[in-house]
C-alpha cells in the first residue's frame, strides 16, 4: 500500500539516505493508509537536525520555497509538484505541569520518537526509502480492534499533554473506535487537567468531534469521563434528576436524540443543498437548544414541571459558552439565534398564524431559516406517534405558506415600500432619528399588511406623521 506514495516522496527518502539520515512517514497518514483512506497531510520524522533537514529539502525542492516557522520545535516544511511535507526531528519531551507546551529535546531513535505519540494507532511508521513498517507498540493490532490505547502509561501521557484526552473522544467520533479501559480510567482521573489547554485548541478538537461520523458517541464519552464538566458543562447539566413525584423528559437524552435527528435532516455531503453535511451550526444548535432548562425549571402544583423562557436564557448561555471557547462571532451569533428561535413554531401548531406572523417568522430567522426548519423538526422526540404526526403536518403547512408568500412577496427580502431617501422627501425632514422611526413604522406596516405600493405607503406615512403632531 505504501508503494503508492507520490514519486517525490520516494525521492525524498533517497535523499535523506544519501545524507546518512533516517526518514519515516508517521502518525495519521500511516494509520489512514492501513485503513485504506487517503491523507492530505504527510508528516515525517527524521534523525536529521533542522539545519541538516533544510539542506536536504533544498536539494529536493531544487531551491524552491521552504518554511521553518516550527524550527524551534525541529519542524520544517516544503512543497514540490503539489506534494506538501512536514518533517520533524526525532524528539523527546518533558512538560511543565502547569502548561501543555513541551520543553523540546531532540531524540536519537525512531522508537523513542514514536513513544511520545498520543495513541498506538498513531505510533506506527514507515521508513523511507525502504518502506519498512515499524510498529513498536502494536498499533496495528489496536487498529484492527478499533481500540485507542496510549504507547506509554496513560496517566503519564495525559498528564504530559492533557489535549490528548480531547483527541481520544474526538477519535471515537471520527473513527468509531473504543477507548481502552485503563486509558479511559486515566482520562476520568485527570479530566480537570484539560483546563490548562488553550480555549482555541480545545475548541478545535470539539469541532472535529462534532463534525465526525459519530458525534453522539463522542459527546457521551465526554460526559461519562468528566471532560464535559470542564469543556461544555451545559451538556451534563441537562441530566436533570427525576423522581416519582415530578416526572419529566430526560433533557440530556432528548438533546442527544435531537442531535441525531438534526444530522439525519442535513443535505448529503457534496450535494450543495441547504445545511450540507456536516453542518456545524445545526449540530451546535441541536446540542445547545435546551441548555437554559436547568436554570428555568420550576415545579408547579400537580407535579407539572415548566421551563418558561428557557430559550431566551439558553441563547445567552450559548453565546457565553461559545465566546469562552473562542468560537468566531458569526458562528456564535448564528447558534445563539437558533436557540432563541427554536420554540417559535409551537405557537403555529396551537393556532393558525396570520400572514403577518409568518412574515415575522421568516424575517426573524433571516439567513438561518433552513437551519431553523431542521432544528424545529429535529426537536420533536415524543413517543406519541399521533402527536408527532400532527406536529409534522403543522410544520409542513407552515413551510408551504412560507413558500407561497415567498413566491408572491419575496418574503426573505422584506423591506418597507419606501426607502430612507424617499421618507425624507415625503416628510421634508433631514437625516436623523425620526427617519429611523418612520422606517420602522413602514416596516411594521409591511409586515402586518404585506406589500402596500408607494402611493398607499406615502398616505400612511403622512397620516402617521400628522398623528405625531
**Peptide bond preceding 278: is omega within 30 degrees of 0, i.e. cis?**
yes
Q: What is the dihedral of CA 187, 193, 195, 198, to 10 degrees?
A: -90
Q: What is the pLDDT of residues 64-86, one digit of tens each?
A: 889 998 898 899 999 998 899 99
**C-alpha count within 13 angstroms, C-beta hemisphere, residue 54:** 12
Length in residues, the chain: 469
Q: Tell me, what's the pLDDT at 246? A: 43
Task: Please state the domain extents for the chain.
Answer: 2-145, 149-231, 237-412, 416-467
Cα angle, residue 145 at apex, residues 140 and 148 outer, rounded to 5°: 80
Q: Tell me, what's the pLDDT at 18? A: 97
Assess contact for 278 and 266: CB atoms under 8 A.
yes
CATH topology assigned to domain 2-145: Beta Polymerase; domain 2 (3.30.460)
State the Cα–Cα distance between residues 239 and 32, nearest whole angstrom: 37
Segments in the chain below pLDDT 70 = 1, 3, 93-104, 241-249, 349, 351, 408-413
Nearest to 170 by CA among 104, 109, 134, 218: 218
User: Which H or E element spans position 80?
Assistant: strand 75-80
Q: Tell me, what's the pLDDT at 97? A: 62
CATH number of 149-231: 1.10.110.30
Q: Give this prediction's pTM.
A: 0.83
Instruction: Taking each helix axis as running N to C, give the angle between helix 369-378 and helix 280-288, from 0 to 180 degrees, rounded to the nearest 10.
Output: 50
Q: Tell me, what's the pLDDT at 243? A: 43
Amino acid at each position: 500500500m505504501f508503494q503508492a506514495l507520490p514519486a517525490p516522496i520516494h525521492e525524498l527518502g533517497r535523499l535523506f539516505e544519501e545524507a546518512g539520515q533516517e526518514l519515516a512517514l508517521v502518525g495519521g497518514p500511516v494509520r489512514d493508509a492501513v485503513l485504506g483512506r487517503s491523507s492530505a497531510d504527510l508528516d515525517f520524522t527524521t534523525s536529521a537536525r533542522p539545519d541538516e533537514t533544510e539542506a536536504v529539502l533544498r536539494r529536493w525542492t531544487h531551491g524552491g520555497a521552504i518554511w521553518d516557522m516550527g524550527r524551534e520545535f525541529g519542524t520544517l516544511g516544503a512543497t514540490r509538484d503539489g506534494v506538501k511535507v512536514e518533517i520533524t526531528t526525532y524528539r523527546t519531551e518533558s512538560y511543565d505541569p502547569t502548561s501543555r507546551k513541551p520543553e523540546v529535546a531532540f531524540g536519537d531513535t525512531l522508537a523513542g520518537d514514536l513513544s511520545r505519540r498520543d495513541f498506538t494507532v498513531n505510533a506506527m511508521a514507515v521508513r523511507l526509502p525502504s518502506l519498512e513498517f515499524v510498529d513498536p507498540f502494536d498499533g496495528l493490532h489496536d487498529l484492527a480492534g478499533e481500540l485507542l490505547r496510549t504507547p506509554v502509561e496513560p496517566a503519564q501521557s495525559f498528564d504530559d499533554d492533557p489535549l490528548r484526552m480531547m483527541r481520544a473522544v474526538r477519535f471515537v467520533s471520527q473513527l468509531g473506535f473504543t477507548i481502552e479501559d485503563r486509558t479511559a480510567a486515566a482520562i476520568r482521573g485527570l479530566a480537570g487537567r484539560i483546563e490548562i489547554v488553550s480555549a482555541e485548541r480545545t475548541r478545535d478538537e470539539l469541532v472535529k468531534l462534532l463534525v465526525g461520523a459519530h458525534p453522539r458517541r463522542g459527546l457521551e464519552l465526554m460526559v461519562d469521563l468528566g471532560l464535559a464538566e470542564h469543556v461544555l458543562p451545559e451538556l451534563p447539566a441537562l441530566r436533570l434528576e427525576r423522581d416519582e413525584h415530578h416526572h419529566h423528559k430526560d433533557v440530556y437524552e432528548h438533546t442527544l436524540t435531537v442531535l441525531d435527528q438534526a444530522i439525519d435532516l442535513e443535505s448529503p455531503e457534496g450535494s450543495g443543498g441547504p445545511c450540507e453535511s456536516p453542518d456545524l451550526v445545526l449540530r451546535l444548535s441541536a446540542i445547545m437548544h435546551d441548555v437554559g432548562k436547568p436554570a428555568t425549571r420550576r415545579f408547579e402544583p400537580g407535579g407539572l414541571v415548566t421551563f418558561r423562557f428557557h430559550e431566551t436564557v439558553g441563547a445567552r448561555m450559548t453565546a457565553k459558552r461559545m465566546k469562552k471557547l473562542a468560537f468566531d462571532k458569526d458562528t456564535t451569533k448564528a447558534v445563539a439565534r437558533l436557540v432563541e428561535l427554536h420554540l417559535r413554531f409551537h405557537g403555529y401548531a396551537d393556532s393558525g398564524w396570520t400572514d403577518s406572523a409568518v412574515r415575522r417568522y421568516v424575517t426573524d430567522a433571516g439567513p438561518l431559516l433552513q437551519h431553523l426548519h431542521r432544528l424545529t423538526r429535529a426537536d420533536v422526540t415524543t413517543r406519541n406517534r399521533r402527536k408527532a404526526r400532527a406536529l409534522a403536518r403543522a410544520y409542513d403547512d407552515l413551510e408551504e405558506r412560507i413558500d407561497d408568500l415567498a413566491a408572491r412577496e419575496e418574503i426573505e427580502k422584506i423591506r418597507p415600500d419606501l426607502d430612507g431617501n424617499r421618507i425624507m422627501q415625503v416628510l421634508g425632514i433631514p437625516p436623523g432619528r425620526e427617519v429611523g422611526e418612520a422606517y420602522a413604522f413602514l416596516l411594521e406596516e409591511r409586515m402586518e399588511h404585506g406589500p402596500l405600493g408607494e402611493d398607499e405607503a406615502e398616505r400612511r406615512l403622512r397620516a402617521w406623521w400628522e398623528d405625531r403632531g
